[in-house]
Each structure stands twice: as structure tokens, then as C-alpha cells.
Structure 1
């Protein structure tokens, strides 16, 4: 009898004045909101894009937190009036994520759900090699340029994975040259002193079917003083301007007839104190092979340089005698810091702009070097 009384006590009046038990009270307090997390907890080999989603029925989401094992958060947004949450970017490969989601029903009662899953480990990967270097100071014409080790067939996903912020703020847009190079620049030359930060988040982005990026790093660079140099191929002069003011005019020689220098805006992409120039490497046969060209600065990928010239005689400022390069008077060995070539080399940054005018040649192709400034903004963003 004692045992029966003890077991049946929950249904007696002792449980409450109305005879209803505490389990019913708890049932009233339970939220009607039902949270669903995809993928299921414990899943492995999860796709880095399109697989993660949080939904709720009979309620609205109020909080969704997704973190990797190191505590780094995944950004995302709640949509549909609180009905679902999706990440704003792809996930990293071979990474374990933890999801915590909270929802409320129509009476404000909360419901929570947690999940843990691991993304796929790719068999095939790609990298992006970039310029300028992290921490560098560059000229006003320098784009942020990325070359990929595999041809990209999903350009929107890759472009979305590269986020550029600037101080002061300026709109920066990307442009593809083929399927393996992506350059970013503003509409006009960078403003002097601009701080540029690039979040290069390629880890886990599917650049082509079954091929995933495998790097995530932050790159910062600063825009230096505003230097633009204007070469007049007809007058054989170069005017170097800083902040729009001419600071020096130098005599030059440009491409002779049949080897005319490109017209247009070109960006210094490389500086070499001394280099070898062999005509065979640019398709000119055995016309020259100079092993010690001083103070050389590359302007195009096809081999146009502004460089020191110690063999040009009286050509500088008088006539055009080069095979397409911009030559400035120099000495063999480049030891004399007072020569025009040495002065220009010492006062130039990678990313400075050199504009050539009045040459008997067409405008340089925008993809030939970092010379996208020869495209209109409409074409660049198209």
C-alpha cells in the first residue's frame, strides 16, 4: 500500500490545487520553434559552399554563431524574416566548425540547437601569387594583381573571396585577364597615402570543378607620393611630375622607326639595378645582347623598360634610337648617381606611372604588364 501510494502520488491533489502535474507546466514553457541545422552534426567531407544552412519552423532565428576550432567566426546573415541563416562566404577546407543557433516562437520562448561538422579535404588545389608585397609602399598606379596556378572557371566565387578595404575609402573593382589573372584597382589613380588591406581568402573556394584554393592571408600596402612621368617620343623628353608639378625634365631616346615604343599609361612593375637584355628573348633575333644594362625598370610583360643607356651617344634628347625601350643617359656599371638614369631610378617606386605620348605605335594592351589604366572604367567593370 505504501508503495502504491508513493508511485501514484503524482496524480493526487498533493501535486497542486487543480490536480495538474509539474510536467504539464514544463510542457507549456517549451518553445514551439524548431531549429534545423544542415549539415547534420558529426558530418564529414562537407562541401565548402552551399552546404551550411540554418532554418527554423514555427519561430524566427535570433542568433546564429559559427566558429572554427580556433574561434574564428564565419560571417552570415539571417533572412526571410528570421526563417533562415546562410554564410556570406565559403568555408575553409579540412576544417571543423561548431554551430550554435537560437530561435524564438511567437510567445518569445527560446529554442536552441548545436551542431559540429568537418569540411572536405580537397585532392586538387590552386594558389594565387600576388603583387605588391605585404608591407610595401608603391606608386599611385599599382593594382593588386593575383595570378592563379590553375585556370579559374568559377570567377565569381574567386573574386568574391578577395575583399579589399581602403583608408580613405574608395571603390575598388576587379577585372579578369584570361582565366588565370585578376587585377583590382580604383577608377582613378590611388590617392597618396591610401592604406590598402586585402583579405585574400582563397582557402576552400572552388575555383574550378574539384579544385580548391588553399591559402588565406591578409596583405597590406601603402600608396606613396604621387609621381607620374610623361614621355614625349617626338620631343625626346621625360617630364617627372609629383603631385601634378614638374620636378625634373630629362632627355630620353625611345623606339626608332619599326621598333616604336608603345603609347599609353604604363606602370613600373620591377626595378633592377643591372640586368641582361638579349634581343632574342623579345623576338628580334641577334640584334643585341647587352649583359650589364643599368638602372632598368620594367613597364610591360613583353619587354619594354625604362633603363640606363651608356652606348647611345648623342641620341638622348635628339633622336629615337632604341628597340622600343625608353633610354636615359647612364654610365657602364651605373656607378654615377648624378646621371639621368640613376636619378630616375632612385626617385621611382614600383607602381609609379610612366605615360608615353606621340610615338608611332598603338596604345599598349591593358594586359601587357599592369597597364589596365588604358581601359575605361566602364570596360574595366564590365
Structure 2
């Protein structure tokens, strides 16, 4: 009894076991047979579809800003660059704490941005950049830097600063201290002159302190001129840096061009090509150290009163030739001290003899009339003297051709 029961149980277990195996095989066979082209077309995942779904996205774009974030004592002339890897730059801004923007240039492939505007010393700048990878995903980066504090500042003035000037007035960027020769090109590259009507002209260095622009010919009356000096952040000599930019606008007035003949003792004054008056004058004694210089001069300044002092031209008090005279209606022509001015003490010689210390003497009434009709930048040409005009002695560039003046450019080849 017991034995037969046991056999039945084993037999039952065997049936169950083989049934399970047959069921498993049957299911496997059925599954393989059901993957048909039609079934796949109805949405059953295929091997290729599964591979596509698992493909990774493009790597994120990375942005590198140089100098590094938080950099200090950065030279204002140091390059500032923004570079993108694994993508392209879509936006770059650089601003000072004041809000002023710095211009920049983006490379053709949009991978590198380089600052082109000059940085000012002792200033904090913020650079913000955005780059996109191949999928259009953006990466943003912000960085700050601070420029160095210079030991001293290279100060300069733009002349004229405004107003109405004569047709011979040049544009002058005048520095307090001389600019090193190897720094002059840096200055020259960052100054511009635009005029209406347009003119051709040339920059040149009169000396180490004066960068001068002159048109090829005298300005046309009525011209509007705008000057921009984006020169902040240039080391003009060791530890001496420019700290500011500047710009100015001026207008060119009537063409007042006069000629002084030292031999006939006459001054012919013209306005826009028409003779207004011929004035009697007395100039410097011929053959002396104070003989009036020949050449084309430009009125540098006008003063209703000016004290003439021989010590400024090397004749000290107590020495022969010393003088100290208060004059009226003075118009400066040279840095060495030649003026057009009123000289009531020499009226008797005006028109017939040269008795001055180098200035052009006029009667009080003629000097007042000339003063009222003159302005800074008017042209006065002197002829008849054997003494030449030194190149540095005033705005003397009109004594050279435009091509000759152009050779004084720091950018001349």
C-alpha cells in the first residue's frame, strides 16, 4: 500500500516536470515565430530603434576667459580674450563698473572674441559670455578683472577743444610729458578725425609731445570737424599711463590769410580770397638775433593784454636788449615769442623801417581791428626775411608738403 502510493506520487511529479519543460519550450517557440515584419511595423521595438534611443547628446560648450576670474593689477594693454570649445560664442559683453562698454572682435568661426577697446587703469571690468554646443544648449560664464594702478598719469589735451577756428588750424594731441618713440604708433592708431565735408589729411609728430593732424590743404570754410582720442590705457613711458579718452568738435570759420612783407613793411589781410586791408607794420631788425622769421605761421592764441618779457627769449634783466613791455591786442605766432600786437611806440617806423624785437608791430587802431577779425588758426605768411622758421616753433606744418609731413607719422613705412 505504501509502496504503490509512493510510485504514484513520483509518477505525478514526473508528469508535472515534463509538462513544465514542454510549456517553456512551447512559449519560446511561439515568441520567436511572432516577430514578423508586420509586427515590427506595428510598433514592436527593433534592434536599430533601441540603439538610436540610447545615443548620447553633444558635449556641453565650455568658455575660457583670459585673464582669469579675479585677476588684479592687469596691464591695460594686456589682451582680453574669450574662447569657446565644443561650441561657438553667441554673446560676449565687457563693461566697466561705470557701465561703459568695451568693443571686441569675434573670429570668423565664432570661437574667439578679443577686446579691441582700450582699458583704463585702476578700473574693474566684468566679462560675460555665452556659448552654444551643437545641440543649441547654452553655457554662460562671468568673470571680473581689475587693471593696475599706475605710478603716474600721462596727461594730454586735444586742441582745439571747441569753437570756431581758422583754416590753418591743425588738430593737436598735446602731451604734458614726451611720449617714447616706440609708444607713438599706439597713440596714433587710436586717434581719428572726421570732417564734413570730408578731407584727406595726415598725422605727424612735431616733437615727442605733439601729435598733429593737418589736412592736405587748408580746411574749407564752414567745415565741421570731430576728433576722437580713444587713448586710455597706453603706457607712454615706463610707469606712465594714459587714463582717459577724449573727443572734441569744432567749426572752421572764414578763410583769413594774411601776408607780411618785411621788406615793404606791409601786411595784406584777405578774407575768403578778398583783400580787406593793407596795414603798415614794423618787424624785427634785419640781420639781428631778433629778426622776424620767414615762413607760414598760424595764430596760436589771442590775448587782449600780454606782457612781453625778454627773459623768455634768453635776454636777462640788466643785459643789452632787455625789455618788459605791456602790450594790447596780442596774437601769438611762435612759441619763441613772435606776436602781432599794438605798438604805439613804433608808429613812426611802421611802414618804413624794421625796429622791433621780432614781433610784428601795428598801430593801436590797426591792431585792434586785426584782433577783432582774427581767430586761432588763421594763417599769416611772412616773406622777405633771411631768417628761417624752426620746425618746432609753432604750428609750422604748412611749410612742408602733405607728403613730407606724412613722413613724420609713427606709422610711416
Which interval holds the TM-score relative to the shorter structure? 0.7 to 0.9
For 1:11, the equivalent position in structure 2 comes to none
Conserved? CA contact 1:195–1:223, under 8 Å: yes
For 1:139, the equivalent position in structure 2 comes to 166
Larger Rg: 2
For 2:151, the equivalent position in structure 1 comes to 123
Residue deviations 1:149-187 (CA, integer Å, cap 9, x gap): 333221122233433333333344322233222222222
Taking the aligned partners of 1:209 and 1:61, their CA distance within structure 2 comes to: 36
* Unmatched 5+ stretches in structure 2: 1-44, 408-413
Conserved? CA contact 1:68–1:96, under 8 Å: yes
Select the residue among 252, 267, 271 that pairs with 1:223.
252
* Unmatched 5+ stretches in structure 1: 1-16, 331-338
Aligned residues: 353
| Structure 1 residue 30, shift from structure 2 partner | 5.3
Over aligned residues, Cα RMSD in angstroms? Answer: 2.7
Conserved? CA contact 1:30–1:109, under 8 Å: no
Taking the aligned partners of 1:365 and 1:187, their CA distance within structure 2 comes to: 21
| Structure 1 residue 239, shift from structure 2 partner | 1.4
For 1:149, the equivalent position in structure 2 comes to 176
Residue 367 of structure 2 corresponds to residue 341 of structure 1: yes
Residue 382 of structure 2 corresponds to residue 353 of structure 1: no
Select the residue among 228, 236, 246 that pairs with 1:199.
228
Taking the aligned partners of 1:329 and 1:268, their CA distance within structure 2 comes to: 19
Segment of structure 1 superposing worse, 367-376 or 313-322: 313-322
For 2:219, the equivalent position in structure 1 comes to 190
Select the residue among 34, 46, 51 that pairs with 2:79.
51
Segment of structure 1 superposing worse, 344-353 or 201-210: 201-210
Residue 199 of structure 2 corresponds to residue 173 of structure 1: no
TM-score, with structure 2 as normaliser: 0.77
Taking the aligned partners of 1:172 and 1:75, their CA distance within structure 2 comes to: 26
Select the residue among 296, 311, 315 that pairs with 1:265.
296
Structure 1 or 2: more helix by fraction: 2
Taking the aligned partners of 2:175 and 2:298, their CA distance within structure 1 comes to: 21
Taking the aligned partners of 1:88 and 1:240, their CA distance within structure 2 comes to: 48
Q: Cα distance 1:248–1:105, how it changes in 2: closer, same or farther (>3 A)?
A: farther
Segment of structure 1 superposing worse, 190-199 or 343-352: 190-199
